[in-house]
Amino acid sequence: MATNEQNKLLTQTGKNTPMGNLFRRYWIPALLSEEIPTPDCPPVRVKLLSEPLIAFRNTEGKVGLMDEFCAHRRVSLWFGRNEENGLRCPYHGWKFDVNGQCVDIPSESVESTFCNKVKLTAYPCVERGGVVWTYMGPPELQPPVPEFEWALVPDSQRFVSKRLQESNYLQAMEGGIDSSHVSSLHSGELDNDPLHRAEGSKYQVDTKPKFEVANSPGGMVIGARREAGPGQSYWRVTQWIMPWYTMIPPYGDHGLHGHAWVPIDDENCFAWSMTHHPTRPLNEKELYALQNGQGMYAELIPGTYRTVANKDNDYLMDREGQKTGRYYSGVKGIGMQDASLQESMGPIVDRALERLVATDIAIVQARRRLMAAAEALPNGGEPPALDPASHHVRSASFVAASDVPLSQVEEIFKAKSGVAHTSI
């Protein structure tokens, strides 16, 4: 359990909160590049860490991310005209460039220099892996750009999507590092889901995994060990990278999957999903499943990032499927099975009421690392995982002798260009 004070520290991410200050030290996935696909296309509203922002791509193709509201009368710049390397407010014509600098006030005289004094809060952006990343922290402390393997492979080997989750980021992220629920919640679909069918899924019948958790430069390595026959253990190893990335253990030759749980505000987050294969393009069957919301992905309402199955329609609950075991929880799809239960906790779960057990060790450790990093920051503490080298890791699944500890096989968790991942 976490006290009410600890829960507030962990879940509040707005300006001038301890966790908000910590998160602003990292590059943040802000939006998909495809959301602003061409120069001078319509701007897009973006909300991150409770800050309302506007994103646009200027005439030269550069991306800007800045305060949503015009400095003049606070009109939303979503209504703005994206033209000639700037976003122009339609109310009185004030124009801003990708750095938030006002470059034109039509009502001012030619001699006026007033617009030079007007600048909106703006954040630097880079594009990598089909994602627009932004940095919202102190400019002098800006870290190198992230180097997650999924963001570096060729486009043909990667698929990235996102969906709205109506809960605080933390309860969503904690589901991503909890391997024990797979044997229950997802048991009805592991043998049928096109992104998970493989030899290893048969070991999920062991509902009592033993956990080993070790700190890594970027976060934690989380090993869940299940019985796999006499003298053998089936390992599923998850990576958690600060501040909100999880890497899901693979099945067979399927791609590697991962998530980023990015706070929109304290009661909503974007669940980013990333799939990549280190050594080959994703094939037609895989792309069909990914694009049609199967596996950890979800079907979206057209034109939005809200899921078709959502709390307003009880996630299309199938009680008959629940009875037969086809869908253990009655909700279809691995991603929506997770989201439905995490959202059912409420926008921010009261962790003081929890009763944790041994299989929750990774969740407890992640909370402690987040709190420690946030509390150390005002005293000059350096956040973990700013060094891109800490991103060069993978999840894995494998069978090994029962007496082999996780520390003896750590080499297989390193991401190596052109080398296939370890999976059963």
Asked whether residue 1 carries a pLDDT value surpassing 90, the answer given is no
In a domain? residue 149: no
Asked whether residue 348 carries a pLDDT value surpassing 90, the answer given is yes
345 and 306 co-located in one domain: yes
Residue 405 has what pLDDT? 87
The tokens describing 388, both together, are 């891109």
Range of the domain at 134: 27-141
Residue 183 has what pLDDT? 72
% of the chain residues with pLDDT over 70? 97
49 and 182 co-located in one domain: no
> Cα separation of 21 and 18, whole Å?
5
3-class DSSP state for residue 242? coil
Question: Which of 92, 115, 141 is the C-terminal boundary of a domain?
Answer: 141
103 and 190 co-located in one domain: no
Q: Work out the mean pLDDT of the chain and round it to a whole number.
A: 94
3-class DSSP state for residue 123? strand
CA-to-CA separations, 35 to 50, 211, 276, 293, 420, in angstroms, rounded? 20, 40, 20, 18, 31
In a domain? residue 390: yes
Average pLDDT over residues 36-49: 98
In a domain? residue 5: no
Instruction: For 155-191, write each residue's pLDDT tens digit.
Output: 999 999 999 999 999 999 999 998 778 778 887 777 6
Instruction: For 103-134, write each residue's pLDDT tens digit.
Output: 999 999 989 999 999 999 999 999 999 999 99
| Nearest alpha carbon to residue 321 among 332, 310, 307 | 332
Asked whether residue 192 carries a pLDDT value surpassing 80, the answer given is no
The tokens describing 46, both together, are 């973006």
202 and 134 co-located in one domain: no
113 and 191 co-located in one domain: no
The tokens describing 119, both together, are 């600048």
Handedness of CA 288, 151, 304, 36 (dihedral sign): negative
Question: Which of 141, 170, 185 is the C-terminal boundary of a domain?
Answer: 141
| Nearest alpha carbon to residue 66 among 41, 101, 92, 37 | 101
Average pLDDT over residues 350-358: 94
> Cα separation of 165 and 341, whole Å?
11
In a domain? residue 12: no
| CATH number reported for the structural domain that contains residue 96 in this entry | 2.102.10.10
Residue 199 has what pLDDT? 59
240 and 119 co-located in one domain: no
115 and 240 co-located in one domain: no
In a domain? residue 305: yes
Asked whether residue 275 carries a pLDDT value surpassing 70, the answer given is yes
Peptide bond into 52 cis (omega under 30): no
| Nearest alpha carbon to residue 64 among 43, 50, 47 | 43
Bridge partners of 220?
215, 240
Residue 318 has what pLDDT? 93
Asked whether residue 397 carries a pLDDT value surpassing 60, the answer given is yes
Residue 361 has what pLDDT? 93
Question: Which of 115, 141, 167 is the C-terminal boundary of a domain?
Answer: 141
The distance of Cα 260 from the centroid of its chain, to the nearest Å, equals 1
Residue 188 has what pLDDT? 73
The tokens describing 122, both together, are 């703006």
Instruction: For 284-336, write each residue's pLDDT tens digit.
Output: 999 999 999 998 999 999 999 999 999 999 999 999 999 988 888 999 999 99
345 and 394 co-located in one domain: yes
Asked whether residue 201 carries a pLDDT value surpassing 70, the answer given is no
Average pLDDT over residues 401-424: 91
298 and 404 co-located in one domain: yes
| CATH number reported for the structural domain that contains residue 236 in this entry | 3.90.380.10
Determine contact, residues 262/244, Cβ cutoff 8 Å.
Answer: yes
Q: pLDDT band for position 218 (50/70/90)? A: very high
Residue 327 CB burial class (10 angstroms; 0-12, 13-18, ≥19):
buried
Q: pLDDT band for position 200 (50/70/90)? A: low
Q: pLDDT band for position 206 (50/70/90)? A: confident
In a domain? residue 191: yes
In a domain? residue 239: yes
354 and 396 co-located in one domain: yes
307 and 394 co-located in one domain: yes
> Cα separation of 185 and 189, whole Å?
9
Q: How many domains does the chain have?
A: 2
In a domain? residue 420: no
Q: pLDDT band for position 422 (50/70/90)? A: very high
Please count the CA atoms within 13 angstroms of the CA of 5 that sit on its side-chain side. 1
239 and 100 co-located in one domain: no
Residue 350 sits at φ, ψ, to 5 deg, of -85, 100
